[in-house]
Structure 1
């Protein structure tokens, strides 16, 4: 339980660190933003397969493979549903010049932005908590480290759009704390759900992996390829994959 606490705190602090940097920088260029997100997508891609789905496969017999398929499908379905009922991040960020925003953001718009961010943060936290319950400390450490590293640039991406559409520093800081808290809550939620039944653990690991795969494919990669810097973003994605694999090799 102490390791879960440390991991949850680490993820939250990493997210807040990125937000703090974003508050200082105020604006990130499209090129740098796409490189950051590409690297994050690569790390998450490797983590979802190597640290979540593959360990789940090792837990089941061939006749129980339905758990893996059902788990991945459930993760994709869950995030797809959330994504359908909440606005896409790029509709609220204000980064694209063709999208008009007023100088003052309403409270409802801020809440919608936080809800959209939760699509990314909640499954990330749950993935970490579920892996801890699985008893494989190496996988848990690798997942935690990869998510913590990508939380820093992601935290920057959270606050800079809010500043650009006119949200004040106090409200932006408040949003940053909420986003970090969502992921921390996700860690504990994943840990508790994973502890309900060892029989369901492969399904839950697969579900977390499927959720991460959906976020990578539907949100992160398209966003990094929308501004003319797709080659840089692709190189960053490959580097992210290799970095995650290196982390996994070191922690074994």
Structure 2
């Protein structure tokens, strides 16, 4: 219980850590660095899904729960993407431009954090607690640039930098609640564990391929992003091997 609470909290607060940069940033961020960071987090999440969540789901439940869980994770993310406004990062080498619907974007980012929190909570329900720590770390790394981009968006909307930092941090807080929910559901209903792990993997794979990789390949930085993606995979493999 304590581990899932700590892991979910740290993963959620990573949004605030990323947003903290906005307080010290004199200008905007180049797309080159943004693309490199997005690709790196995509690599980390890919390794976490393929080498941790999916093997755990196969071991604890077999092929059927794995297939059902992955498709369920993808389906939920697809429904959310179609019905919730998404933060649209325009591809421009001069900086990042955002849609003007501030409140809708904040709500969208908050809701998009729900499956991420569930992923962390479900990961802590397996016997090997290291899986939960690894997934919390992977999600946290994904949350950091997301928090920065949300804060940057709010500053571009003429919102005070400190307020932008607070709001961006709060968008990740929902992961603490959903993390605990995912943990309790899969802990007290044992047969849900492989489905939950596969759901987490499906959700993460959707985010990787649908969001992170395309957004890192739209500004002529494909080669840098590809190298960063591979480094992210190797970095996560190193962590998995260490634990």
TM-score (norm 2): 0.90
The one of 173, 189, 200 aligned to 1:197:
189
Aligned to 1:220: 212
Q: Secondary structure at the match of 2:159?
A: coil
Going from structure 1 to structure 2, the CA distance change for 1:101 and 1:133 (only over 3 Å counts) comes to closer
Contact 1:114 1:178 in 2 (8 A): no
CA–CA distance in structure 1, aligned partners of residues 96 and 22 of structure 2: 21
Aligned to 1:8: 8
State the shift of 1:101 in Å.
Answer: 6.8
| Residue-by-residue CA offset, 1:102-148 (whole Å, 9 max, x unaligned) | 9xx5xxx2232123323542222211110111121121121122222
In structure 1, list runs of 5 or more residues that go unmatched. none
Aligned to 2:180: 188
In the alignment, is residue 40 of structure 1 matched against residue 38 of structure 2? no
Query: Would you say how many aligned residue pairs link Structure 1 and Structure 2?
Result: 241
Aligned to 1:84: 82
In the alignment, is residue 135 of structure 1 matched against residue 135 of structure 2? no
Going from structure 1 to structure 2, the CA distance change for 1:234 and 1:29 (only over 3 Å counts) comes to same
Runs of 4+ off more than 3 Å: 93-102
CA–CA distance in structure 1, aligned partners of residues 204 and 221 of structure 2: 23
Matches within 5 A, 1:1-252: 1-25=1-25, 26-61=27-62, 65-90=63-88, 93=89, 96=92, 109-118=101-110, 120-169=112-161, 171-251=163-243
| Residue-by-residue CA offset, 1:139-196 (whole Å, 9 max, x unaligned) | 1121122222333233212211221233333542342132120222221121122124
CA–CA distance in structure 1, aligned partners of residues 170 and 238 of structure 2: 31
State the shift of 1:99 in Å.
Answer: 9.4
CA–CA distance in structure 1, aligned partners of residues 117 and 223 of structure 2: 30
RMSD across aligned C-alpha pairs, in angstroms?
Answer: 2.2
Q: Secondary structure at the match of 1:133?
A: coil
CA–CA distance in structure 2, aligned partners of residues 120 and 203 of structure 1: 20
State the shift of 1:37 in Å.
Answer: 0.4
In structure 2, list runs of 5 or more residues that go unmatched. none
CA–CA distance in structure 1, aligned partners of residues 166 and 102 of structure 2: 10
